[in-house]
Amino acid sequence: MNIIDELKWRDAINQQTDEKGLNDLVDEKKVGLYVGIDPTGDSMHIGHLIPFMILKRFQLAGHRPYIVIGGATGSIGDPSGKKAERKLQTMDVVEDNARKISGQMEKLFGQDGSFKIVNNYDWTSKLSLLDFLRDYGKLFNVNTMLNKEVVASRLEVGISYTEFTYQILQSIDFLHLFEDEDVQVQIGGADQWGNITAGIDLIHKIKGADAKAYGLTIPLMLKADGTKFGKTEGGAVWLDPEKTSPYEFYQFWINQDDRDVVKYLKYFTFLSEDEINDLADKVKTAPEKREAQRRLAEEVTEFVHGKDAVKEAENITKALFSGNVADLTANEIEQGFKNMPSVDVTNEKKNIVEWLVDVTKIEPSRRQAREDVTNGAIRINGEKVQDTDAEINPATHFDGKFVVVRKGKKRYFLARVK
């Protein structure tokens, strides 16, 4: 099957401007395609990842992917999916965000020259106001723009002229890439349909109705319970490991619902149809083993963070399940215990009872501390301690940075050595 047929099998296509034309195009040549992203933050989250998974598939099929960082469009704000005006960011912030997002793209797409990152500020900033109005504004009908869903949805609450012109700027991007880079396809989320079709209309007006320019959107990703994919109780799941650790990232995927996991395997992994069908069967016959979820977590974590991050995440998962934390590294402790109760301590040696009560406040009283220690309810750095005269030395494990306490079977505490 060609790349379009594969995307259909993966349920990754929502709309196409010309299905037959695009199918013929990818069969006859290596096509230039692009996805844009505005640098409104300093990291992508997994919601942003959705269209770039499609772009990556085109790259693996030998096509020419382009990534447009919206240094210009990001400075004015995309009205798509917003009920109110975006807060404008300074150009310094936009530039810093663009630099960080570009670094994340290089991790996803490699540095072998098979893809290209461009910034629309490079060509948009050269336009004068008169050029913008005469060369482009004249070609956009206000009535047509008002009927685009992205604008129509904002008319009741109001939309500024700045955000109203966003679709013109994005259309100029498509025209620029079409003319200068032979890019013929734009890919975007379902909410970008109006912007994509506006770009194709502009190309046809300037280059002629026969110009081969195409658009493809991807479906809105919803979970089986009807809620939006990618959100957790803790907020967004970021690609930046400083915002969402690789362990947390891995856990997000491994905890997916049985009803969603096959859909995500199709969308977020590069496994074959046979491999995914085999995992789908295992979801039905042995759901308790969660093999599909584990494979999903492995594949996506490796794609975003690399093989070492997968190994770390698996080490942490096994250690927390078994209680054998002694062999974890300091970095793995930092990731695995990030959201568990923690307290700051000094590196001073202390009797275990005093340390549990006076230093960490893990135990409410010396009597309770002695009872829990004697009964084997306390583990320090993975080892059961039953001697009430034992001494805690914070410097002995995890590079002297942490002491891990487990009270009972499941309650963990992290002491950070300062």
Domain containing residue 410: CATH number: 3.10.290.10
Catalytic residue among 116, 148, 212, 231: 231
- Report whether 170 belongs to an annotated binding site: yes
Q: Do 210 and 108 belong to one domain?
A: yes
Q: Do 142 and 239 belong to one domain?
A: no
Report how far residue 292's alpha carbon sits from residue 366's, in angstroms, rounded to the nearest whole number.
Answer: 47
Q: Do 359 and 210 belong to one domain?
A: no
Please check the confidence at residue 155 and state whether its pLDDT lies above 70: yes
Locate the DSSP E strands across 234-308. Answer: 235-236
Report how far residue 232's alpha carbon sits from residue 310's, in angstroms, rounded to the nearest whole number.
Answer: 21
- Report whether 231 belongs to an annotated binding site: yes
Pairing of strands 116-119, 15-16: unpaired
Q: Do 113 and 200 belong to one domain?
A: yes
Catalytic residue among 15, 17, 18, 86: 86
Catalytic residue among 107, 138, 204, 228: 228
Q: Of 186, 218, 250, which residue sits at a domain end?
A: 218
Q: Do 49 and 90 belong to one domain?
A: yes
> Is 40 an annotated catalytic residue?
yes
pLDDT band at residue 103 under the 50/70/90 scheme: very high
Structure confidence at residue 234 (pLDDT) = 65
Report how far residue 136's alpha carbon sits from residue 352's, in angstroms, rounded to the nearest whole number.
Answer: 74
pLDDT band at residue 81 under the 50/70/90 scheme: low
Structure confidence at residue 18 (pLDDT) = 95
Structure confidence at residue 232 (pLDDT) = 66
CATH code of the domain containing 34 = 3.40.50.620
Domain contains 372: yes
Domain contains 327: no
> Is 162 an annotated catalytic residue?
no
> Is 204 an annotated catalytic residue?
no
> Is 82 an annotated catalytic residue?
yes
Q: Do 186 and 294 belong to one domain?
A: no
Domain contains 170: yes
Q: Do 80 and 49 belong to one domain?
A: yes
Q: Do 39 and 87 belong to one domain?
A: yes
Please check the confidence at residue 213 and state whether its pLDDT lies above 80: yes
CATH code of the domain containing 295 = 1.10.240.10
- Report whether 166 belongs to an annotated binding site: yes
Q: Do 179 and 83 belong to one domain?
A: yes
pLDDT band at residue 231 under the 50/70/90 scheme: low
> Is 232 an annotated catalytic residue?
yes
pLDDT band at residue 379 under the 50/70/90 scheme: very high
> Is 176 an annotated catalytic residue?
no
Please check the confidence at residue 409 and state whether its pLDDT lies above 90: no
Catalytic residue among 15, 17, 42, 45: 45
CB 327 within 8 A of CB 299: no
Tell me the backbone φ, ψ of residue 232, rounded to 5 degrees: -130, 175
Report how far residue 13's alpha carbon sits from residue 25's, in angstroms, rounded to the nearest whole number.
Answer: 17
Q: Do 238 and 365 belong to one domain?
A: no
pLDDT, tens digit (0-9, with 9 covering 90-100), for 28-78? 999 999 999 999 899 999 989 999 999 999 999 999 999 999 999 988 888
Catalytic residue among 18, 42, 96, 191: 191
Q: What is the largest CA-CA distance in the chain?
A: 87
Catalytic residue among 40, 256, 269, 335: 40
Place of tokens 């590079």: 399
Domain contains 263: yes
Domain contains 286: yes
DSSP 377-401: -EEETTEE---TT-EE-TTSSGGGT
Report how far residue 170's alpha carbon sits from residue 98's, in angstroms, rounded to the nearest whole number.
Answer: 17
Catalytic residue among 170, 186, 256, 360: 170
Q: Do 349 and 410 belong to one domain?
A: yes
Domain contains 365: yes
Tell me 114's DSSP state.
S
Range of the domain at 403: 342-417
Over range 380-392, report the average pLDDT. Answer: 94
Report how far residue 290's alpha carbon sits from residue 27's, in angstroms, rounded to the nearest whole number.
Answer: 38
Count structural domains, the chain.
Answer: 3
Q: Do 21 and 153 belong to one domain?
A: yes
CB 193 within 8 A of CB 1: no
- Report whether 361 belongs to an annotated binding site: no
Catalytic residue among 10, 48, 176, 379: 48
Cα 76 → chain centroid: 23
Domain contains 334: no
> Is 397 an annotated catalytic residue?
no
